[in-house]
Amino acid sequence: MAGNTGEEEGPAGRFFLASGQPNVAAIIDALDNGEQLPDEIRGNYELADEISTHLPSTADVLATEVLIDRRTAALQQLGAELRARGWEGHASSEVPPIAAIILGTTAAGKSSLLARPLASYLPGWLADADMVKPWLLPEYRQGYGNQAVHAESTEIRKAFVARVAERGESFVYQTIGEDPADIGTLIEAFETSITEFGCTSSTFRRIRLSSGAGDVS
């Protein structure tokens, strides 16, 4: 045991208390300094969840001006990243635009099973808040601040998809459906914009994922 610090000895000693419990304050401090965490900590998802409870949401603590500047930069970066990957929607009178809105619980496979393949197939813009999170620094903290930037990244995603919906461009939007009113507003904006391309009606198709397969109903 190292002196009166209450921490264990060894390379990872300062990250653990004498009781064997993680020293959350020391871990957060290391993350803020850009340090690489030891193997005993990396990949520990339960610990990552615990750390996240100690980190305030950026949407609550950052000044409005800072949030606006970060959103502007993230929107530009997101557009460039999606173009580079081929996930870019277009508006055309010859090919009616398509809006794919995917609802599902966290870790249900929305992105890997549906969103990304659809974005490539259409092609369409991919509205994915998880792509934005690593750009929200330093609060993202190598992924340990995932929840700290969640609300901010969600607002950036909403702003991005609202823009492309208003332009009548194809897009894929994934959400857990926490705010049905937002989804309704998004659909209305898209329907209004596509009338400019001769589309007079919308067709809705529900896709249900069951046992890893998509069933259309």
pLDDT over threshold 80, residue 33: yes
Q: Can you give the pTM of this predicted structure? A: 0.75
Beta strand pairing call for 207-210 and 213-216: antiparallel
Q: Count of H helices and E strands in the chain?
A: 8, 5
Q: For the stretch 85-121, what's the b/e string if a residue is b when 16 or more beta carbons lie within 10 angstroms of its beta carbon?
A: eebbbebeeeeebbbbbbbbeeeeebbebbbbebbee
- Of the two residues 104 and 204, the one the predictor is more confident about is 104
Q: Which domains does the chain carry? A: 13-52 (no CATH), 58-216 (3.40.50)
User: Model confidence over 123-139: pLDDT tens digits?
Assistant: 889 988 889 999 999 99
User: Model confidence over 137-169: pLDDT tens digits?
Assistant: 999 988 888 889 999 999 998 899 888 888 878
pLDDT band at 205; cut points 50, 70, 90: low
pLDDT over threshold 90, residue 63: yes
